[in-house]
Structure 1
Amino acid sequence: MIYIYNDYGGTHTTALAAAYHLKEITQSERKLTKEEILNVNYFNKLTKEDSGKIIFHGIDENGDSVYTIGRKSNKLVVPALKNMSLLLHSKYPFNEKIIFSNTSPTVPFVMSMGGFFSRGIKIDFIGVPLLVMGAKQCCDNIFRLVENTKQIGQSSNDEKVIILENEIYK
């Protein structure tokens, strides 16, 4: 199975989702610390040039691959990837189910502002604290989104490619 978490920039909620999925960070009663957030692979590290790149994060406990992609505001990226995946499935049969999971619904306003300041206009001293605050606000929702994504992936659904637009998990 292949999991691909996607959102606008591919460097905040997607990085956290991949880290939860791979158990690099774990859910608990407490919020993540600033250090835990900033130490997540790729968190706030990707640039505009990384947009559209499918980034490998690791293999989960079930042997499934976990990736992320920043799709910017282009709503056609994931459907195009789905169609390409289906084309490859038909031309070169393989048994990998592919799950595209949108993390955008988990993004709080403060994280959007942090991403704008830090990644957009390179003002980290304003952006990074906002990103950390936003990550602390949404980490529970991201964890639930990942658990739901994994559950759907493990279901006996015969679809070869699944797109999850998701909703806020409360």
Structure 2
Amino acid sequence: MIYIYNDYGGTHTTALAAAYHLKELDQSERELTKEEILSVNYFNKLTKKDFGKIIFHGIDENGDSVYTIGRKSSKLVVPAMKNLILLIQSKHPIPEQIIFSNTSPTVPIAMSIGGFLSRGLKIDFLGVPLLVIGGKQCCDNIFRLVENTKRTAQSSKEQVTILDNQEFK
């Protein structure tokens, strides 16, 4: 199984989702601390040149790979990737199931503004505190999204599954 968490920038909610998935963050629904949020791999570290790159985060307890991708505002990236994967698999079968899980619905306004200030305008002294506030606000939803993603992956018979996760808004 291959998990790919995706959102606009690929450096905030996706990084938190990957950390929860890999049990690098406490597996509970409690609010994260500032230190926990800022210590997550890739959290607020990616730049514009990283958009569209599939970034490996690790192997989970079941031996499944966990990745993230920042897709910008394009709604076409994930469906295009699904179609490419299905095309390749029709010629060269791969036994791996692939799960795309959208973390965008979990993004609070504080994180959107903080990400814009920090990553877009390079104003970290304003952006990072907002990112921490946003991370604390959405950690429960991200935790639940990851748990739902894992459950769905185990029950899916599809070669490629796309989860839009709108129920986590």
TM range (shorter): over 0.9
Corresponding position of 1:51: 51
1:4 aligned residue: 4
Give unpaired runs (5+ residues) of structure 2: none
SS across alignment from 2:40: coil
Cα RMSD for the two superposed structures:
1.1
Deviation at 1:168, TM superposition (A): 4.1
- Greater shift, 124-133 or 159-168, is seen at 159-168
Deviations 1:14-73 (A, max 9, x none): 000000000000233531111110000000000000000000000000000000000000
- Structure 1 stretches of at least 4 aligned residues deviating more than 6 Å after TM superposition: none
1:158 counterpart residue number: 157
TM-score where L is the length of structure 2: 0.97
TM-score, structure 1 as length reference? 0.97
Q: Please list the CA deviations of residues 99-158 of structure 1 after superposition, one character each: whole Å capped at 9, or x if unmatched.
A: 000000000001000000000000000000000000000000000000000001111x32
* Alignment map for 1:33-112 (pairs within 5 Å): 33-112=33-112
Output aligned runs, 1:116-135, within 5 Å.
Answer: 116-135=116-135
2:113 corresponds in structure 1 to: 113
Q: Give, in whole Å, the separation in 2 of the partners of 1:47 and 1:32.
A: 24
1:158 corresponds to which letter in structure 2?
K
Using the aligned pairs only, state the percent identity: 79
Task: Report how far residue 94 of structure 1 moved.
Answer: 1.4
2-structure distance, mates of 1:168, 1:115: 23
Whether the 8 Å contact between 1:117 and 1:127 is mirrored in structure 2 is: yes
Q: 1:81 to 1:38 in 2, by over 3 A?
A: same
The aligned counterpart of 2:166 is: 167
Distance (whole Å) between structure 1 residues aligned to residue 147 and residue 25 of structure 2 = 13
Name the structure 1 match of 2:22.
Answer: 22
For 2:167 and 2:68, the matched residues in 1 are separated by 19
Aligned amino acid, residue 85 of structure 1: I
Equivalent residues, number: 169
**Residue 137 in structure 1 maps to residue 133 in structure 2:** no
